[in-house]
Structure 1
Amino acid sequence: MGLKNVTLFLDPALSSLNYGDDIHDYPLMQHPAQPAAIVALYFVFVFSLGPKLMKNRQAFDLRKIMTIYNITQILFNLVVFVMAAKVIQNFSLYCSPPNNSNTPLDISVRKIHYYYGVLKFLDLLDTIFFVLRKKPQQITYMHVHHHVGMAATTWATAKYFPGGATGFIFFYNTLVHALMYGYYLMSSWNSAKAIWWKKYLTQIQIVQQLFYDTMFTIHLFNANCNYSKGWLMFYLCNTFLMTYFFSAFYKKNYMSKKQVSDRKIE
């Protein structure tokens, strides 16, 4: 069963929509095999080929490359954020159906969604750098799940359910990622411990996930909202999981044992 058939199974009412529309022929968007191949190569390199190549080698000093990469990510995320800021006023927290029509607004939203999706594949380079720098401890389940999950779901959403409720994601997430890569840029040349706002960046990420949890729940239980309920449930499962991951990370890294004990007593 292809992805289009899957979406029709989740919500038959979408059968009249023109899937993909003008971004259908964009790079990476022609067929699910394209993003699937990228993800497959990612897994092969991160968990097999990369570690074998680096086994008897010194870790690469990638500070200059990572500086360019981080600056590029900051700029690209800010560009998409500004683009999204111009259309976000047309979205509703109560119901934002997919942007599938051929109005100028819907075409713009689909293109923004596509650009955001490209950024999610660019994010996969984070893990590649970990391998080349011999930092296996940073390749956690949370890290891999988040990166692969975002790339895959953003692609599928841009292809079959563009814009709509997910428009809030590429609006807020690009700003958060610009801040995150700003932190990476500073920490690549200085001690990460010296950057005092790392803790608050994690707090921002938790708040972001809580917002998604709330917004998708509202859409899901709004019977009059024409956005696939099946896809909303899928997104909710993922956002709840990421809320848990970020919260657990924050508790582990920023809450002292005494603070944790005090919380348990209350």
Structure 2
Amino acid sequence: MSSSLLVVGRNKDKMFQEVLSNILRFYDYLLKRTDARVRDYPLMQSPIQMTVILLGYVIFVLYVGPRCMANRKPFCLKTTMIVYNFSMVAFNAYIVYEFLMSGWATTYTWRCDLCDPSSSPQALRMVRVAWLFYFSKYIELLDTVFFVLRKKHSQVTFLHIFHHSILPWTWWWGVTLTPAGGMGSFHAMVNTCVHVIMYTYYGLAAAGPRFQKYLWWKKYMTAIQLVSVNSFKFSENKQMCYYSITFWHAFEYCLGQWKALSKNKKNNKNNQKNKKINEPQYEKM
């Protein structure tokens, strides 16, 4: 009996070693295929650093942050939020400009433009702006950190965490395994345009009530996001990977569900308000 258990144990150990060996070989294979033009950029040497940062982000916003803030008052970050949001407007506007100058406003045909794997000045400029877009996703993690510190827990939704944690991870593989540029950069440029609009709204909202009259376009924000997602799907060509198509369909579904949920909450709130108004009022005795 003991000998048979020993054999089973050895077989399991051998199987585990084979699986681990195959994973490591596949990992080495992927690293060898990475674009040499981006290897010297920060956070591009391996996916380990990126994964650790994103795991730390998820753990903080879901567990550590809320527990630390449980018995504390919300932080007043008005000035910080104004500076942060308008800095992001400027940064994203610069990224849009670089995408345009790297091809979309110069040599691209807006049809099925291919990636340029060369080391020409324009190709290297596209590599640089692709990395800037990727790096901006780490800065945007502060959005959720500010929500936690201000105890805006209702805004830390599944969609919000899914978007902020998955997009940097997918873009690391996109930037390293395929040459930057081509149709693959279209959704990044559109996404950055949307972020210019979004951070402008957030900056004005953080500035206080006197700027509320300039935020009449708030109701169009979700529609703008949905249009940007669909614009990416229509721009896809045969070079695009199936997993990226699936990701954007999933994100569109989550965004649509969030919009429907927000609308239902607003309707329920209005119904309760109307019910309260229509209730008969009795004079106090």
Aligned counterparts of 2:110 and 2:249: Cα–Cα separation in 1? 18
Change over 3 Å in CA distance of 1:3–1:61 after alignment to 2:
farther
Q: Is 1:19–2:28 an aligned residue pair?
A: no
Aligned counterparts of 1:238 and 1:4: Cα–Cα separation in 2? 25
Q: Would the aligned equivalents of 1:199 and 1:254 in 2 still touch at CA under 8 Å?
A: no
Q: Is 1:235–2:244 an aligned residue pair?
A: yes
Q: Would the aligned equivalents of 1:88 and 1:167 in 2 still touch at CA under 8 Å?
A: no
Aligned counterparts of 2:30 and 2:176: Cα–Cα separation in 1? 12
1:44-83 to structure 2, matched below 5 A, reads 44-83=59-98
What is aligned with 2:225? 205
Q: Percent identity?
A: 28
Change over 3 Å in CA distance of 1:118–1:182 after alignment to 2:
same
Aligned counterparts of 2:120 and 2:160: Cα–Cα separation in 1? 37
* Aligned-pair CA distance for 1:193: 7.1
Deviation readout 1:202-242 (Å, 9 max, x if unpaired): 211111111111122xx13xxxxxx3x5xx21111111122
1:219-258 to structure 2, matched below 5 A, reads 219-220=237-238, 227=239, 229=240, 232-254=241-263
The one of 135, 147, 166 equivalent to 1:118 is: 135
| AA of the residue aligned to 2:88 | Q
What is aligned with 1:172? 190
What is aligned with 1:128? 145
Which structure has the larger Rg?
2
Q: Which runs of 5+ in 1 are unaligned?
A: 8-14, 221-226, 258-266
What is aligned with 2:29? 5
Secondary structure at 2:37's aligned position in 1?
A: helix
Structure of higher RCO (CA pairs closer than 8 Å, 6+ residues apart): 1
Tell me the matched-pair count.
Answer: 237
1:152-171 to structure 2, matched below 5 A, reads 152-161=169-178, 162-171=180-189
What is aligned with 1:147? 164
Aligned counterparts of 2:108 and 2:174: Cα–Cα separation in 1? 16
Q: Is 1:34–2:49 an aligned residue pair?
A: yes
Aligned counterparts of 1:82 and 1:142: Cα–Cα separation in 2? 28
Aligned counterparts of 1:171 and 1:180: Cα–Cα separation in 2? 14
Aligned counterparts of 1:164 and 1:3: Cα–Cα separation in 2? 26
| AA of the residue aligned to 1:233 | Y
Q: Would the aligned equivalents of 2:115 and 2:182 in 1 still touch at CA under 8 Å?
A: yes
Aligned Cα RMSD in Å?
A: 2.4
Change over 3 Å in CA distance of 1:97–1:4 after alignment to 2:
farther
* Aligned-pair CA distance for 1:73: 0.5
Q: Which runs of 5+ in 2 are unaligned?
A: 1-22, 268-285
Q: Would the aligned equivalents of 2:34 and 2:177 in 1 still touch at CA under 8 Å?
A: yes
* Aligned-pair CA distance for 1:254: 5.0
Aligned counterparts of 1:30 and 1:21: Cα–Cα separation in 2? 10
* Aligned-pair CA distance for 1:244: 1.9
Q: Would the aligned equivalents of 1:80 and 1:174 in 2 still touch at CA under 8 Å?
A: yes
Q: Would the aligned equivalents of 2:58 and 2:161 in 1 still touch at CA under 8 Å?
A: no
Secondary structure at 1:101's aligned position in 2?
A: coil
Length-normalised TM-score, structure 1: 0.81
* Aligned-pair CA distance for 1:46: 0.9
* Aligned-pair CA distance for 1:45: 1.1
